[in-house]
Amino acid sequence: MFRYAIENKEDMKIFAGTLKASFYNKFLQQAKTLLSTQKISIICEKKCEASDFQKLIKRSENGNISDINAQESLGVSHFILAGESAYRDEKSDALKTASASFNGYMRGSFLSVFFDAIKKNIGNLA
C-alpha cells in the first residue's frame, strides 16, 4: 500500500487496533517518502504503541494520529487505504484473513467515508 500511495501520489488512511512497532517500523522509509508530499492519517482503537513510526507520523506536518482509547474493540475491521481505490481490509485479526484490491473504488470509497466518520466522532466512541 505504501508503494502504491507513493507511486500514485495518494494520501493514506489507516484504521488499526494499535500501531505495533514490530510491524510498522518496517515502513519507516516509505512513510518518510510519502509524508514529503502526501498525508498519512491514522486512527487507533486503543492507545498507539510508541515507536519510531509513530514518532515520524506525529512530527510530520502531513501526519496525524488519533487514539480512540476504546475500552473494547469497536467490532469493525481494520484497514489501510491508499487514495480511494487501493485497500487492504482485515476481515479477522484472529484468523489473519484480509481482502485487498488496487482497483476497488466502491469499497475504497466506502472505507474512506467510514474513516472520516470515525475521526469526526472519536469523542463519542471512547
* 6 falls within a domain: no
C-alpha 104 chain-centroid distance: 17
* 77 falls within a domain: yes
* 65 falls within a domain: yes
Task: Give the structural domain span for 113.
Answer: 21-124
38-63 mean pLDDT: 93
Nearest residue to 45 via CA among 11, 26, 8, 19: 19
DSSP per-residue codes, 82-124 = ETTTEEEEEEETTTTEEEEESS-HHHHHHHHHHHHHHHHTHHH
Task: Retrieve residue 107's grid coordinates.
Answer: 469499497
Show Cβ contacts of residue 11 under 8 Å, excluding neighbours closer than 6 positions.
5, 38, 39, 40, 41, 82, 83
* 43 falls within a domain: yes
Per-residue confidence at 94, pLDDT binned at 50, 70, 90? Answer: low
In this prediction, residue 18 carries a pLDDT of: 85
13-17 mean pLDDT: 93
Judge whether residue 126 has pLDDT over 60.
Answer: no
The full length of the chain comes to 126
* 16 falls within a domain: no
**Ramachandran bin of 83, using left for φ above 0, alpha for ψ from -120 to 50, beta for the remaining angles:** left
Count CB-CB contacts under 10 A for residue 70.
16
Total tally of structural domains belonging to the chain: 1
pTM of the model: 0.90
* 3 falls within a domain: no
* 45 falls within a domain: yes
* 2 falls within a domain: no
44-48 mean pLDDT: 86
